[in-house]
Structure 1
Amino acid sequence: MARITLEELNELDDEVPDEEDEPMDGEEQNRLFSHWETVASTHQVSLPQEMAGPIMQMARHNQTREPVPYATLSQHEKCEEIAYEERLYPAGKWACITRGEPKYEQSISMGFMKLIRYICKENSLGRQLGMTVPVINEIHLNKEGTELLQEVITAYYLPEEFQPNPPLPLDPDIQIQERAPLRVIARVFYGTTTEETILREIHLLWELLGSTDNVLRETYLVAAYQNPGVPNRRNEIWFIRRAD
């Protein structure tokens, strides 16, 4: 399945009725599933039929996407535009899954396919949890910094309602993790997220920062805000500050 991210689900919400309205007929369901199959094919993965139910559930929930909370510590400009900013994300609980597919796009797609089923009632509460933004993908580089390692961790922040007591996943591959406060340097970029574009954005941010010893060099985060069908979609690359 393609990376099922937040804005795509918002678009689909506009196309289908709310849960209180009449349910979609067979033609509408087939059209929606075909849409996801097409998006999935761009990531070189297949969308299994068992995802039809979760897709329909997500499309019917026209909820506000809850932002992951953070505080802006500083902003840095270049040519009178914000080049990057430093943020502090508080400790919080995330649902995480690790995949190691041949391509980055496949790993994030397969990982989020499982997470979306957790969000859509495959949890100990048996209810739809709602979405948060952004979805985070943790990547690791080789020592030379020239290529991504295959293992990618995809993480979904639990909505505030569920932070004190997160619903347990029915899928044993998904782990609920309490993550420590995170201080990052974030830079926005637009377009596709592939190994090539991610490495380019990492290089560009290092050029802006210059030499510094208090940033991790082998672990980075890619924040996904919009769906893969948007040609100029918004993403961010996050550098992680070392703990003091």
Structure 2
Amino acid sequence: MALISIEDLAELDDEQLDDDITDNPEPMDDEEEERLYAHWQSVASTHQVSVPREMTGPIQEMTRRNQQREQVPFATVSQHEKLGEVVYEERVYPAGKWACVTKGEKLYEQSISMAFMKLMRYICKENSAGRHLGMTIPVLSEIHMQEDGIRFMKDILTAYYLPAEFQESPPEPADPEITIVHRESLRVITRVFFGTTTEETITRQINLLWEQLGSTDSLHRDIYIVAVYENPGVSCRRNEIWFIRREP
């Protein structure tokens, strides 16, 4: 049975999580802890997935530190606007160290669910430093396309950028499935979209951006990236689809 993902929580009504849970830095009492865990399980059950009890600690840690998020560094190269609104933009992300997990489940949603839960535990003290590392945004999911250019390959890589203080010396993961990878700089075309990220919704976003860009050979067509910015309790989460520019 798959683990719940950040996608699975997108349907949570914002009123279901009380302000005293999400904003209180103090440890939760048993009632608050159970209520928060029950919210995760409630949403998970609608997707026929389960949240193991061992996730209780990381869930609380992430919830308490919801506002403490570090932006992955980047530089904006250009923006394309229509009627005064940015339709898409081009950015450069510098080289850096990322914690990565690759999963190949039956569904895209299952793969990123299981990968993110592993990364969540790594962030929340299951590392050689024995401390909470801090959340960075966005979390990336890397998609490779099959030869038909329509369907996704089974294996999905999910990546978490190490906060600035750990870039030089990343804490080692306790989980052997997590690897620390130095990823080279990346130049991407990005388009914002909101809601859940499934294979269907991502395919739609890929097609929409190609329609806006038109025909070009300067971008890869066999690999795309989905960038997720919001925490699981946000009902209308911000995401981006990234097209990767080929090296000259």
Partner AA of 2:69 in structure 1: R
* Structure 2 match to 1:122: 126
Which of residues 209, 224, 228 in structure 1 aligns to 2:228? 224
User: Aligned equivalents of 2:85 and 2:66: distance in 1?
Assistant: 34
Check if 1:67 corresponds to 2:71: yes
* Structure 2 match to 1:2: 4
Shift of 1:63: 5.1
Q: Deviation string for 1:155-212 (max 9, x for gaps)?
A: 0000001011100001000000000000000001112211111111101111111111
CA gap of 1:225–1:184, structure 2 versus 1, over 3 A, is same
Are the aligned partners of 1:73 and 1:86 in contact in 2 as well (CA < 8 Å)?
Answer: yes
* Structure 2 match to 1:141: 145
Shift of 1:144: 1.6
RMSD: 2.1
Q: How many residues matched?
A: 238
Shift of 1:38: 2.2
CA gap of 1:188–1:62, structure 2 versus 1, over 3 A, is closer
Give the secondary-structure state (helix, strand or coil) at the position aligned to 2:216: coil
Alignment of 1:41-60 (within 5 A): 41-60=45-64
Give the secondary-structure state (helix, strand or coil) at the position aligned to 1:129: coil
Are the aligned partners of 2:74 and 2:93 in contact in 1 as well (CA < 8 Å)?
Answer: yes
Partner AA of 1:169 in structure 2: P
Check if 1:79 corresponds to 2:83: yes
Q: Deviation string for 1:14-70 (max 9, x for gaps)?
A: 43331xx3x322111111111111233344421111111221222333552000010
TM-score by length of 1: 0.90
Give the secondary-structure state (helix, strand or coil) at the position aligned to 2:175: coil
Check if 1:241 corresponds to 2:245: yes
Are the aligned partners of 1:2 and 1:42 in contact in 2 as well (CA < 8 Å)?
Answer: no
Partner AA of 2:143 in structure 1: I
* Structure 1 match to 2:180: 176
5+ residue gaps in structure 1?
none
User: Aligned equivalents of 1:130 and 1:82: distance in 2?
Assistant: 30
User: Aligned equivalents of 1:40 and 1:235: distance in 2?
Assistant: 21
Q: Greater CA deviation, 211-220 or 39-48?
A: 39-48
Give the secondary-structure state (helix, strand or coil) at the position aligned to 2:131: coil
CA gap of 1:193–1:184, structure 2 versus 1, over 3 A, is same
Alignment of 1:201-216 (within 5 A): 201-216=205-220
User: Aligned equivalents of 1:60 and 1:232: distance in 2?
Assistant: 20
Are the aligned partners of 2:190 and 2:241 in contact in 1 as well (CA < 8 Å)?
Answer: yes
* Structure 1 match to 2:97: 93
TM-score by length of 2: 0.89
Runs of 4+ in 1 over 6 A off after TM superposition: none
CA gap of 1:227–1:129, structure 2 versus 1, over 3 A, is closer
5+ residue gaps in structure 2?
none
